[in-house]
Chain A
Amino acid sequence: MQTIPVAQGLFTGPSGAPQLLASRCTACANHMFPLQAGCSKCGGASTTTVELGRRGTLWTWTVQSYPPKAPPYAGNVDPATFEPYGVGYIEIDGKLLVESRLTIADPDFLDIGMELELVLEPLYVNENGEQVVTFAFAPVSATEKLSQS
Protein backbone atom coordinates (compact mmCIF):
# COMPACT_ATOMS: atom_id res chain seq x y z
CA MET A 1 0.00 0.00 0.00
CA GLN A 2 1.25 3.46 -0.89
CA THR A 3 1.95 5.62 2.18
CA ILE A 4 1.31 9.37 2.07
CA PRO A 5 1.67 12.09 4.74
CA VAL A 6 -1.42 13.73 6.28
CA ALA A 7 -0.11 17.04 4.89
CA GLN A 8 2.86 18.24 2.88
CA GLY A 9 5.60 20.15 4.65
CA LEU A 10 5.10 18.72 8.15
CA PHE A 11 7.84 16.09 8.16
CA THR A 12 10.38 14.44 5.86
CA GLY A 13 9.67 11.06 4.32
CA PRO A 14 7.39 9.17 4.68
CA SER A 15 10.18 6.71 3.88
CA GLY A 16 13.39 6.71 5.93
CA ALA A 17 13.82 8.16 9.42
CA PRO A 18 11.31 11.02 9.64
CA GLN A 19 12.13 14.51 10.91
CA LEU A 20 9.71 17.34 11.65
CA LEU A 21 10.19 20.51 9.60
CA ALA A 22 10.20 23.89 11.33
CA SER A 23 10.60 27.53 10.39
CA ARG A 24 13.56 29.28 11.93
CA CYS A 25 13.51 33.08 12.08
CA THR A 26 16.61 34.45 10.36
CA ALA A 27 16.60 37.47 12.68
CA CYS A 28 16.07 36.00 16.19
CA ALA A 29 16.41 32.20 15.69
CA ASN A 30 12.89 31.54 17.06
CA HIS A 31 11.61 28.12 15.91
CA MET A 32 8.02 27.53 14.81
CA PHE A 33 6.01 24.45 13.81
CA PRO A 34 4.43 23.95 11.32
CA LEU A 35 6.15 26.14 8.74
CA GLN A 36 5.05 29.76 8.82
CA ALA A 37 6.12 32.86 6.96
CA GLY A 38 6.51 35.40 9.78
CA CYS A 39 8.04 35.26 13.26
CA SER A 40 5.70 35.16 16.28
CA LYS A 41 8.46 36.45 18.54
CA CYS A 42 10.10 39.40 16.76
CA GLY A 43 7.65 39.97 13.91
CA GLY A 44 10.40 39.38 11.36
CA ALA A 45 9.25 38.39 7.86
CA SER A 46 12.15 36.10 6.91
CA THR A 47 12.31 32.43 7.93
CA THR A 48 14.18 29.36 6.70
CA THR A 49 13.10 25.72 6.84
CA VAL A 50 15.08 23.47 9.16
CA GLU A 51 14.87 19.81 10.24
CA LEU A 52 14.22 19.40 13.96
CA GLY A 53 16.03 16.17 14.65
CA ARG A 54 14.26 13.06 15.88
CA ARG A 55 14.41 13.15 19.66
CA GLY A 56 12.91 15.21 22.43
CA THR A 57 11.69 15.07 26.02
CA LEU A 58 8.08 14.99 27.20
CA TRP A 59 7.09 18.38 28.70
CA THR A 60 3.49 17.51 29.50
CA TRP A 61 0.89 14.98 28.37
CA THR A 62 -2.69 13.75 28.50
CA VAL A 63 -4.62 10.85 27.03
CA GLN A 64 -7.41 11.19 24.47
CA SER A 65 -9.74 8.64 26.01
CA TYR A 66 -12.88 9.16 23.90
CA PRO A 67 -13.36 9.32 20.10
CA PRO A 68 -12.96 12.91 18.84
CA LYS A 69 -15.67 14.39 16.64
CA ALA A 70 -15.28 13.49 12.97
CA PRO A 71 -14.71 15.66 11.09
CA PRO A 72 -12.25 17.07 11.83
CA TYR A 73 -10.72 13.81 13.16
CA ALA A 74 -9.81 11.38 10.38
CA GLY A 75 -8.85 8.35 12.48
CA ASN A 76 -11.06 5.58 13.85
CA VAL A 77 -14.03 6.94 15.83
CA ASP A 78 -16.02 3.72 16.19
CA PRO A 79 -16.74 3.60 19.95
CA ALA A 80 -16.42 -0.21 19.88
CA THR A 81 -12.90 -0.25 18.45
CA PHE A 82 -11.56 3.24 19.25
CA GLU A 83 -8.16 3.10 20.83
CA PRO A 84 -7.14 5.92 23.18
CA TYR A 85 -3.98 7.76 22.20
CA GLY A 86 -1.58 9.97 24.12
CA VAL A 87 -1.09 13.66 23.35
CA GLY A 88 1.82 15.72 24.59
CA TYR A 89 4.17 18.61 24.12
CA ILE A 90 7.70 17.48 23.34
CA GLU A 91 10.63 19.80 23.96
CA ILE A 92 13.12 19.52 21.12
CA ASP A 93 16.68 20.55 21.73
CA GLY A 94 15.85 23.81 23.48
CA LYS A 95 14.27 25.06 20.25
CA LEU A 96 10.55 24.69 20.80
CA LEU A 97 7.80 22.45 22.17
CA VAL A 98 5.87 20.50 19.52
CA GLU A 99 2.37 19.18 20.16
CA SER A 100 2.05 15.59 19.01
CA ARG A 101 0.30 12.27 19.35
CA LEU A 102 2.09 9.77 21.57
CA THR A 103 2.20 6.08 20.73
CA ILE A 104 1.39 5.11 24.31
CA ALA A 105 -1.82 5.94 26.10
CA ASP A 106 -1.27 4.32 29.49
CA PRO A 107 -0.71 6.92 32.27
CA ASP A 108 1.48 4.40 34.09
CA PHE A 109 4.01 4.56 31.27
CA LEU A 110 3.99 8.31 30.64
CA ASP A 111 6.27 10.58 32.63
CA ILE A 112 7.20 14.22 32.25
CA GLY A 113 10.86 14.33 31.21
CA MET A 114 10.96 10.94 29.47
CA GLU A 115 12.93 10.69 26.23
CA LEU A 116 10.91 10.26 23.03
CA GLU A 117 11.58 9.67 19.37
CA LEU A 118 9.64 10.65 16.24
CA VAL A 119 7.76 7.91 14.38
CA LEU A 120 5.00 7.91 11.77
CA GLU A 121 1.63 6.43 12.67
CA PRO A 122 -1.10 5.15 10.33
CA LEU A 123 -4.19 7.36 10.56
CA TYR A 124 -6.64 6.17 7.88
CA VAL A 125 -6.84 4.74 4.37
CA ASN A 126 -8.03 7.33 1.86
CA GLU A 127 -10.38 6.88 -1.11
CA ASN A 128 -7.41 6.01 -3.36
CA GLY A 129 -6.45 3.13 -1.12
CA GLU A 130 -3.41 4.98 0.21
CA GLN A 131 -2.32 4.73 3.85
CA VAL A 132 -2.32 8.25 5.31
CA VAL A 133 0.19 8.70 8.14
CA THR A 134 0.73 11.40 10.74
CA PHE A 135 3.58 12.02 13.16
CA ALA A 136 3.77 10.73 16.72
CA PHE A 137 6.38 10.31 19.43
CA ALA A 138 7.30 6.97 20.97
CA PRO A 139 9.46 6.14 23.99
CA VAL A 140 13.08 5.83 22.90
CA SER A 141 13.35 2.48 24.66
CA ALA A 142 10.46 1.10 22.58
CA THR A 143 11.88 2.22 19.24
CA GLU A 144 15.31 0.82 20.16
CA LYS A 145 13.73 -2.53 20.94
CA LEU A 146 11.87 -2.42 17.63
CA SER A 147 15.03 -1.76 15.63
CA GLN A 148 16.83 -4.59 17.43
CA SER A 149 14.16 -7.18 16.72
Chain B
Amino acid sequence: MSDDVAIVGIGMHEFGRHDGVEGIDQGVVAVRRALTDASIQWEDIQFAFGGSQAAGAADTMVSKLGLTGLQFINVSNGCATGGSALFSAYNSIKSGMFDVGIAIGFDKHERGAFRVDLKENGLEDWYGESGLALTTQFFGMKINRYMHDYGISHATLASVANKASRNGAMNPMAWRRNELSVEEVRSSRMLSYPLTQYMFCSPAEGAVALVLCRADRAREFTNSPVYLKAAVVRSRRFGSFEVMAPHLATERGDGPTIDASKAAFEMAGVGPDDIDVAQLQDTEVGAEIMHMAENGFCEHGEQEEMIARGDTEIGGRFPVNTDGGCLANGEPVGASGLRQVYENVVQLRGNAGPRQVQGNPRVAYTHVYGSPGISGVTILSR
Protein backbone atom coordinates (compact mmCIF):
# COMPACT_ATOMS: atom_id res chain seq x y z
CA MET B 1 0.00 0.00 0.00
CA SER B 2 1.27 3.46 -0.80
CA ASP B 3 0.78 6.49 1.41
CA ASP B 4 -2.86 6.89 0.45
CA VAL B 5 -4.40 8.13 3.65
CA ALA B 6 -3.01 10.32 6.41
CA ILE B 7 -4.13 11.09 9.96
CA VAL B 8 -3.76 14.85 10.34
CA GLY B 9 -5.74 15.60 13.48
CA ILE B 10 -6.34 13.80 16.76
CA GLY B 11 -8.68 14.64 19.62
CA MET B 12 -9.58 12.89 22.84
CA HIS B 13 -11.96 13.43 25.70
CA GLU B 14 -10.31 12.20 28.91
CA PHE B 15 -11.11 8.59 29.77
CA GLY B 16 -12.61 7.68 33.13
CA ARG B 17 -15.84 8.53 34.93
CA HIS B 18 -17.57 11.80 34.03
CA ASP B 19 -20.80 12.09 35.98
CA GLY B 20 -23.29 14.42 34.33
CA VAL B 21 -21.52 14.43 30.95
CA GLU B 22 -23.29 12.44 28.25
CA GLY B 23 -21.23 10.11 26.09
CA ILE B 24 -22.24 11.97 22.95
CA ASP B 25 -20.99 15.26 24.45
CA GLN B 26 -17.64 13.65 25.18
CA GLY B 27 -17.65 12.74 21.48
CA VAL B 28 -18.27 16.38 20.57
CA VAL B 29 -15.32 17.46 22.73
CA ALA B 30 -13.06 14.93 21.00
CA VAL B 31 -14.19 16.13 17.56
CA ARG B 32 -13.52 19.78 18.43
CA ARG B 33 -10.05 18.91 19.72
CA ALA B 34 -9.28 16.91 16.56
CA LEU B 35 -10.45 19.79 14.35
CA THR B 36 -8.23 22.22 16.26
CA ASP B 37 -5.30 19.83 15.99
CA ALA B 38 -5.74 19.67 12.20
CA SER B 39 -6.47 23.42 11.89
CA ILE B 40 -9.64 22.61 9.99
CA GLN B 41 -13.24 23.82 10.33
CA TRP B 42 -16.17 21.45 10.86
CA GLU B 43 -17.78 22.71 7.62
CA ASP B 44 -14.74 21.46 5.71
CA ILE B 45 -15.22 17.88 6.94
CA GLN B 46 -16.82 15.99 4.04
CA PHE B 47 -17.86 12.80 5.82
CA ALA B 48 -17.95 11.10 9.20
CA PHE B 49 -18.12 7.56 10.52
CA GLY B 50 -18.87 7.25 14.21
CA GLY B 51 -20.28 4.97 16.82
CA SER B 52 -20.74 3.94 20.42
CA GLN B 53 -21.93 0.72 21.99
CA ALA B 54 -23.97 2.13 24.84
CA ALA B 55 -24.15 5.91 24.41
CA GLY B 56 -26.43 6.48 21.43
CA ALA B 57 -26.16 7.24 17.74
CA ALA B 58 -23.12 9.25 16.73
CA ASP B 59 -24.82 11.28 14.00
CA THR B 60 -26.94 13.18 16.51
CA MET B 61 -23.82 15.18 17.40
CA VAL B 62 -24.24 17.28 14.25
CA SER B 63 -26.80 19.35 16.12
CA LYS B 64 -23.94 20.53 18.35
CA LEU B 65 -21.17 20.67 15.76
CA GLY B 66 -23.19 22.31 13.00
CA LEU B 67 -25.73 21.08 10.47
CA THR B 68 -23.49 21.14 7.44
CA GLY B 69 -25.21 18.35 5.54
CA LEU B 70 -22.15 16.09 5.53
CA GLN B 71 -22.44 12.34 4.97
CA PHE B 72 -22.56 10.89 8.51
CA ILE B 73 -22.74 7.10 8.92
CA ASN B 74 -23.30 5.41 12.29
CA VAL B 75 -21.13 2.36 12.92
CA SER B 76 -22.05 -0.43 15.30
CA ASN B 77 -19.63 -3.34 15.44
CA GLY B 78 -19.18 -4.39 19.06
CA CYS B 79 -15.68 -3.91 20.40
CA ALA B 80 -14.45 -3.12 16.88
CA THR B 81 -16.79 -0.13 16.51
CA GLY B 82 -13.98 2.43 16.55
CA GLY B 83 -11.79 0.29 14.31
CA SER B 84 -14.65 -0.16 11.88
CA ALA B 85 -15.26 3.59 11.75
CA LEU B 86 -11.58 4.08 10.97
CA PHE B 87 -11.59 1.31 8.34
CA SER B 88 -14.63 2.87 6.67
CA ALA B 89 -13.09 6.35 6.69
CA TYR B 90 -9.91 4.94 5.24
CA ASN B 91 -11.79 3.32 2.36
CA SER B 92 -13.87 6.42 1.68
CA ILE B 93 -10.67 8.37 1.04
CA LYS B 94 -8.77 5.60 -0.71
CA SER B 95 -11.66 5.05 -3.12
CA GLY B 96 -11.35 8.66 -4.26
CA MET B 97 -14.84 9.51 -3.09
CA PHE B 98 -13.75 12.06 -0.50
CA ASP B 99 -10.62 14.01 0.48
CA VAL B 100 -11.19 14.81 4.16
CA GLY B 101 -13.25 13.09 6.84
CA ILE B 102 -13.41 12.08 10.47
CA ALA B 103 -13.70 8.85 12.46
CA ILE B 104 -15.29 9.08 15.91
CA GLY B 105 -15.71 6.65 18.79
CA PHE B 106 -17.22 7.38 22.19
CA ASP B 107 -18.96 5.55 25.00
CA LYS B 108 -20.39 5.65 28.51
CA HIS B 109 -21.12 2.40 30.33
CA GLU B 110 -22.81 1.61 33.62
CA ARG B 111 -20.54 0.73 36.54
CA GLY B 112 -19.41 -2.82 37.29
CA ALA B 113 -18.81 -5.69 34.90
CA PHE B 114 -20.27 -5.41 31.41
CA ARG B 115 -23.87 -6.60 31.27
CA VAL B 116 -24.19 -8.90 28.29
CA ASP B 117 -27.13 -8.52 25.90
CA LEU B 118 -27.92 -12.18 25.26
CA LYS B 119 -30.08 -11.70 22.18
CA GLU B 120 -27.56 -9.36 20.59
CA ASN B 121 -24.98 -12.14 21.05
CA GLY B 122 -27.26 -14.80 19.57
CA LEU B 123 -27.68 -16.50 22.97
CA GLU B 124 -30.72 -17.90 24.74
CA ASP B 125 -32.00 -16.95 28.20
CA TRP B 126 -30.85 -20.18 29.92
CA TYR B 127 -27.21 -19.24 29.22
CA GLY B 128 -27.47 -16.06 31.27
CA GLU B 129 -29.80 -17.60 33.87
CA SER B 130 -27.28 -20.39 34.47
CA GLY B 131 -24.52 -17.88 35.20
CA LEU B 132 -22.42 -18.37 32.07
CA ALA B 133 -22.90 -14.99 30.36
CA LEU B 134 -19.86 -13.20 31.80
CA THR B 135 -16.94 -12.08 29.66
CA THR B 136 -14.67 -12.29 32.72
CA GLN B 137 -15.12 -16.08 32.72
CA PHE B 138 -13.89 -16.34 29.14
CA PHE B 139 -10.76 -14.34 29.94
CA GLY B 140 -10.05 -16.44 33.02
CA MET B 141 -10.51 -19.69 31.11
CA LYS B 142 -8.47 -18.63 28.09
CA ILE B 143 -5.40 -17.54 30.08
CA ASN B 144 -5.72 -20.51 32.47
CA ARG B 145 -5.42 -22.92 29.55
CA TYR B 146 -2.63 -20.80 28.04
CA MET B 147 -0.65 -20.86 31.30
CA HIS B 148 -1.05 -24.65 31.36
CA ASP B 149 0.11 -25.02 27.73
CA TYR B 150 2.93 -22.46 27.64
CA GLY B 151 4.18 -22.05 31.19
CA ILE B 152 3.14 -18.46 31.87
CA SER B 153 3.37 -17.71 35.61
CA HIS B 154 1.07 -15.87 38.01
CA ALA B 155 3.92 -13.41 38.64
CA THR B 156 3.99 -12.50 34.95
CA LEU B 157 0.26 -11.80 34.99
CA ALA B 158 0.76 -9.36 37.85
CA SER B 159 3.72 -7.64 36.25
CA VAL B 160 1.63 -6.73 33.18
CA ALA B 161 -0.84 -4.83 35.40
CA ASN B 162 2.08 -3.22 37.23
CA LYS B 163 3.49 -1.93 33.91
CA ALA B 164 0.09 -0.65 32.76
CA SER B 165 -0.35 1.34 35.95
CA ARG B 166 3.16 2.79 35.67
CA ASN B 167 2.50 3.91 32.07
CA GLY B 168 -0.94 5.23 32.96
CA ALA B 169 0.62 7.33 35.71
CA MET B 170 2.53 9.19 32.96
CA ASN B 171 -0.57 9.77 30.81
CA PRO B 172 -2.65 12.87 31.67
CA MET B 173 -5.62 11.50 29.67
CA ALA B 174 -5.69 8.17 31.55
CA TRP B 175 -8.35 7.25 34.10
CA ARG B 176 -6.11 5.49 36.63
CA ARG B 177 -2.86 7.31 37.25
CA ASN B 178 -1.42 5.66 40.35
CA GLU B 179 1.17 2.93 40.13
CA LEU B 180 0.13 -0.46 41.53
CA SER B 181 2.84 -2.76 42.82
CA VAL B 182 3.04 -6.38 41.72
CA GLU B 183 2.04 -7.33 45.27
CA GLU B 184 -1.02 -5.02 45.26
CA VAL B 185 -2.14 -6.56 41.97
CA ARG B 186 -1.71 -10.14 43.16
CA SER B 187 -3.43 -9.58 46.49
CA SER B 188 -6.45 -7.72 45.10
CA ARG B 189 -9.78 -9.58 45.09
CA MET B 190 -9.89 -12.74 42.93
CA LEU B 191 -12.59 -12.23 40.30
CA SER B 192 -12.18 -15.06 37.78
CA TYR B 193 -9.28 -17.36 38.59
CA PRO B 194 -6.42 -16.73 37.83
CA LEU B 195 -7.35 -13.08 37.33
CA THR B 196 -7.67 -10.61 40.22
CA GLN B 197 -9.51 -7.30 40.25
CA TYR B 198 -6.48 -5.18 39.29
CA MET B 199 -5.69 -7.52 36.40
CA PHE B 200 -8.93 -6.46 34.65
CA CYS B 201 -9.88 -3.20 32.99
CA SER B 202 -13.22 -1.63 33.87
CA PRO B 203 -16.01 -0.25 31.69
CA ALA B 204 -15.49 3.50 31.43
CA GLU B 205 -16.25 6.65 29.48
CA GLY B 206 -14.37 8.66 26.93
CA ALA B 207 -14.12 9.63 23.29
CA VAL B 208 -11.60 9.87 20.46
CA ALA B 209 -11.81 11.51 17.04
CA LEU B 210 -9.34 11.32 14.17
CA VAL B 211 -9.26 13.62 11.12
CA LEU B 212 -8.12 11.79 8.00
CA CYS B 213 -7.30 13.08 4.54
CA ARG B 214 -5.80 12.13 1.21
CA ALA B 215 -2.07 11.74 1.82
CA ASP B 216 -1.10 14.30 -0.83
CA ARG B 217 -3.10 16.97 1.00
CA ALA B 218 -1.75 16.16 4.49
CA ARG B 219 0.67 19.11 4.64
CA GLU B 220 -2.24 21.52 4.33
CA PHE B 221 -3.27 20.50 7.83
CA THR B 222 -0.17 19.44 9.75
CA ASN B 223 3.61 19.39 9.73
CA SER B 224 3.62 15.89 11.20
CA PRO B 225 1.28 13.65 9.21
CA VAL B 226 1.04 10.01 10.15
CA TYR B 227 0.12 7.58 7.41
CA LEU B 228 -2.37 4.78 7.77
CA LYS B 229 -0.60 1.86 6.12
CA ALA B 230 -3.15 -0.80 7.03
CA ALA B 231 -6.59 -1.03 8.63
CA VAL B 232 -8.09 -4.51 8.88
CA VAL B 233 -11.09 -6.03 10.68
CA ARG B 234 -11.66 -9.80 10.85
CA SER B 235 -14.36 -12.00 12.41
CA ARG B 236 -13.96 -15.49 13.85
CA ARG B 237 -13.52 -18.69 11.90
CA PHE B 238 -14.48 -22.25 12.76
CA GLY B 239 -12.50 -23.62 15.69
CA SER B 240 -11.46 -20.34 17.29
CA PHE B 241 -11.91 -19.93 21.07
CA GLU B 242 -14.14 -16.92 21.59
CA VAL B 243 -16.11 -15.15 24.26
CA MET B 244 -19.78 -16.19 24.86
CA ALA B 245 -19.53 -19.65 23.29
CA PRO B 246 -21.79 -22.40 24.75
CA HIS B 247 -19.65 -24.89 22.86
CA LEU B 248 -16.33 -25.00 21.04
CA ALA B 249 -15.05 -27.36 18.37
CA THR B 250 -12.43 -29.87 19.51
CA GLU B 251 -10.08 -28.74 16.76
CA ARG B 252 -8.48 -25.37 17.45
CA GLY B 253 -8.35 -22.89 14.58
CA ASP B 254 -6.68 -19.51 14.25
CA GLY B 255 -8.58 -16.72 15.99
CA PRO B 256 -9.54 -13.45 14.30
CA THR B 257 -6.47 -11.72 15.76
CA ILE B 258 -4.11 -14.00 13.86
CA ASP B 259 -6.04 -13.43 10.63
CA ALA B 260 -6.27 -9.65 11.07
CA SER B 261 -2.59 -9.37 11.97
CA LYS B 262 -1.38 -11.32 8.96
CA ALA B 263 -3.58 -9.31 6.61
CA ALA B 264 -2.42 -6.02 8.10
CA PHE B 265 1.29 -6.86 7.81
CA GLU B 266 0.74 -7.88 4.20
CA MET B 267 -1.21 -4.72 3.41
CA ALA B 268 1.44 -2.49 4.99
CA GLY B 269 4.36 -4.36 3.49
CA VAL B 270 6.14 -4.63 6.85
CA GLY B 271 6.72 -7.39 9.41
CA PRO B 272 6.61 -7.69 13.21
CA ASP B 273 10.31 -6.76 13.48
CA ASP B 274 9.59 -3.38 11.90
CA ILE B 275 7.16 -2.33 14.64
CA ASP B 276 8.63 0.21 17.08
CA VAL B 277 5.64 0.53 19.44
CA ALA B 278 2.41 -1.44 19.83
CA GLN B 279 -0.94 -1.02 21.55
CA LEU B 280 -2.48 -4.47 22.08
CA GLN B 281 -5.94 -5.25 23.46
CA ASP B 282 -5.53 -5.71 27.21
CA THR B 283 -9.02 -6.26 28.54
CA GLU B 284 -7.08 -8.08 31.21
CA VAL B 285 -3.43 -8.99 31.66
CA GLY B 286 -3.74 -12.40 30.01
CA ALA B 287 -5.07 -10.81 26.84
CA GLU B 288 -1.96 -8.63 26.46
CA ILE B 289 0.28 -11.66 26.96
CA MET B 290 -1.58 -13.88 24.48
CA HIS B 291 -2.01 -11.08 21.95
CA MET B 292 1.75 -10.56 21.79
CA ALA B 293 2.03 -14.01 20.22
CA GLU B 294 -1.24 -13.95 18.25
CA ASN B 295 -0.11 -10.75 16.55
CA GLY B 296 3.17 -12.36 15.54
CA PHE B 297 5.54 -10.52 17.90
CA CYS B 298 6.84 -13.68 19.62
CA GLU B 299 6.35 -17.42 19.92
CA HIS B 300 3.79 -18.77 22.39
CA GLY B 301 5.45 -18.97 25.79
CA GLU B 302 8.27 -16.56 24.98
CA GLN B 303 6.36 -13.79 26.78
CA GLU B 304 7.43 -15.13 30.18
CA GLU B 305 11.06 -14.28 29.45
CA MET B 306 10.32 -11.10 27.46
CA ILE B 307 8.26 -9.57 30.25
CA ALA B 308 10.78 -10.57 32.93
CA ARG B 309 13.46 -8.85 30.83
CA GLY B 310 11.41 -5.66 30.54
CA ASP B 311 11.08 -5.90 26.76
CA THR B 312 7.54 -4.51 26.80
CA GLU B 313 8.35 -1.52 29.02
CA ILE B 314 8.56 1.93 27.43
CA GLY B 315 12.34 1.69 27.60
CA GLY B 316 12.39 -1.91 26.38
CA ARG B 317 12.98 -3.53 23.02
CA PHE B 318 9.25 -3.76 22.17
CA PRO B 319 7.11 -1.25 24.14
CA VAL B 320 3.48 -2.38 24.56
CA ASN B 321 0.54 -0.24 25.73
CA THR B 322 2.56 2.89 26.37
CA ASP B 323 -0.52 4.89 27.43
CA GLY B 324 -1.47 2.33 30.08
CA GLY B 325 -3.81 0.44 27.76
CA CYS B 326 -7.35 -0.54 28.72
CA LEU B 327 -6.05 -1.45 32.17
CA ALA B 328 -5.24 2.18 33.03
CA ASN B 329 -7.71 3.92 30.71
CA GLY B 330 -10.75 1.72 31.19
CA GLU B 331 -12.77 0.56 28.25
CA PRO B 332 -15.35 2.80 26.67
CA VAL B 333 -15.99 0.16 24.01
CA GLY B 334 -16.76 2.49 21.09
CA ALA B 335 -13.65 4.61 21.74
CA SER B 336 -11.12 2.02 22.82
CA GLY B 337 -9.72 1.06 19.41
CA LEU B 338 -9.31 4.69 18.41
CA ARG B 339 -7.52 5.47 21.70
CA GLN B 340 -4.83 3.05 20.61
CA VAL B 341 -4.43 4.86 17.29
CA TYR B 342 -4.40 8.21 19.10
CA GLU B 343 -1.54 7.05 21.33
CA ASN B 344 0.44 5.80 18.36
CA VAL B 345 0.06 9.14 16.57
CA VAL B 346 1.28 10.89 19.73
CA GLN B 347 4.27 8.52 19.89
CA LEU B 348 5.12 8.88 16.18
CA ARG B 349 4.95 12.68 16.47
CA GLY B 350 7.36 12.47 19.43
CA ASN B 351 4.87 14.24 21.69
CA ALA B 352 4.42 11.64 24.43
CA GLY B 353 6.45 13.49 27.06
CA PRO B 354 7.62 11.29 29.94
CA ARG B 355 6.21 8.15 28.29
CA GLN B 356 7.82 8.84 24.88
CA VAL B 357 9.41 5.79 23.28
CA GLN B 358 13.01 6.71 22.55
CA GLY B 359 14.81 6.35 19.22
CA ASN B 360 12.25 8.21 17.07
CA PRO B 361 9.72 5.42 16.52
CA ARG B 362 8.65 5.22 12.90
CA VAL B 363 6.15 2.33 12.61
CA ALA B 364 3.38 1.62 15.12
CA TYR B 365 0.77 -1.10 15.54
CA THR B 366 -2.68 -1.30 17.15
CA HIS B 367 -4.84 -4.32 17.89
CA VAL B 368 -8.36 -4.41 19.31
CA TYR B 369 -10.27 -7.58 20.19
CA GLY B 370 -13.76 -8.15 21.48
CA SER B 371 -17.12 -9.78 21.50
CA PRO B 372 -18.29 -11.87 19.66
CA GLY B 373 -14.86 -12.76 18.29
CA ILE B 374 -13.73 -9.79 16.25
CA SER B 375 -10.31 -8.17 15.82
CA GLY B 376 -9.14 -4.93 14.29
CA VAL B 377 -5.52 -4.08 13.46
CA THR B 378 -3.92 -0.88 12.17
CA ILE B 379 -0.37 -0.08 11.16
CA LEU B 380 0.77 3.53 11.13
CA SER B 381 4.02 5.10 9.97
CA ARG B 382 5.57 8.52 9.85
Q: A residues engaging B (CB < 8 A)? A: 6-7, 10, 22, 30-34, 40-41, 59-66, 68-69, 71-75, 85, 87-89, 91, 94-101, 107, 112, 123, 132, 134-135
Pick from B118, B130, B142, B145: contact of A123, CB under 8 Å: B130
A60 and B141 in contact, given A34-B246, A65-B193, A91-B250 (Cβ under 8 angstroms): yes
Residue of A at shortest CB range from B122? A36
- Asked if B247 contacts A98 (CB within 8 A), the reply is yes
- Asked if A62 contacts B131 (CB within 8 A), the reply is no
Query: Which residues of the partner chain B approach A91 to less than 8 Å between Cβ atoms?
Result: 250
Pick from A32, A88, A97, A134: contact of B129, CB under 8 Å: A134
- Asked if A60 contacts B148 (CB within 8 A), the reply is yes
Query: Which residues of the partner chain B approach A88 to less than 8 Å between Cβ atoms?
Result: 141
- Asked if A60 contacts B131 (CB within 8 A), the reply is no
Residue of B at shortest CB range from A74? B129
Pairs A–B under 8 Å by Cβ, sample size 20? A7-B124, A7-B125, A7-B126, A34-B124, A34-B246, A34-B247, A40-B238, A40-B249, A41-B238, A41-B249, A63-B193, A66-B191, A68-B131, A69-B113, A72-B129, A74-B128, A98-B246, A100-B132, A101-B131, A134-B130
Contact with A along B280-323 (1 / 0, CB 8 A): 00000000000000000000000000000000000000000000
Pick from A22, A62, A71, A135: contact of B140, CB under 8 Å: A62
Q: Closest CB of chain A to B285's CB: distance in Å?
A: 14
Contact of B73 with A by CB under 8 A: no
Closest A-B pairs by Cβ, 4 of them: A72-B128, A62-B140, A7-B126, A60-B145
Contact of B181 with A by CB under 8 A: no
Residue of B at shortest CB range from A111? B148
Q: Could you say which interface size class chain B belongs to? A: 35 or more
Contact of B112 with A by CB under 8 A: yes
Complex Cα–Cα for A132 and B125 (A): 13
Pick from A64, A71, A96: contact of B247, CB under 8 Å: A96
Contact of B190 with A by CB under 8 A: yes
- Asked if A85 contacts B126 (CB within 8 A), the reply is no
Q: Closest CB of chain A to B381's CB: distance in Å?
A: 38
Complex Cα–Cα for A60 and B129 (A): 21
Pick from B133, B142, B238, B246: contact of A60, CB under 8 Å: B142
Contact of B245 with A by CB under 8 A: yes
Complex Cα–Cα for A134 and B129 (A): 9
Complex Cα–Cα for A135 and B248 (A): 17
- Asked if B250 contacts A96 (CB within 8 A), the reply is yes
Q: B residues engaging A (CB < 8 A)? A: 112-113, 115-116, 118, 124-134, 137, 140-142, 144-145, 148, 189-195, 238, 245-250
Q: Closest CB of chain A to B123's CB: distance in Å?
A: 9
- Asked if B125 contacts A63 (CB within 8 A), the reply is no
- Asked if A99 contacts B131 (CB within 8 A), the reply is no
- Asked if A63 contacts B190 (CB within 8 A), the reply is yes
- Asked if A123 contacts B250 (CB within 8 A), the reply is no
- Asked if A68 contacts B250 (CB within 8 A), the reply is no
Complex Cα–Cα for A68 and B62 (A): 38
Told that A7-B125, A134-B130 touch, could you supply 9 new A-B pairs with CB distance under 8 A? Answer: A33-B247, A40-B249, A60-B144, A72-B125, A72-B127, A73-B129, A75-B129, A87-B131, A91-B250
Q: Closest CB of chain B to A141's CB: distance in Å?
A: 21
Query: Which residues of the partner chain A approach B193 to less than 8 Å between Cβ atoms?
Result: 61-63, 65, 107
- Asked if B132 contacts A62 (CB within 8 A), the reply is no
Among A10, A40, A64, chain B packs the most CB atoms within 10 A around the CB of A64
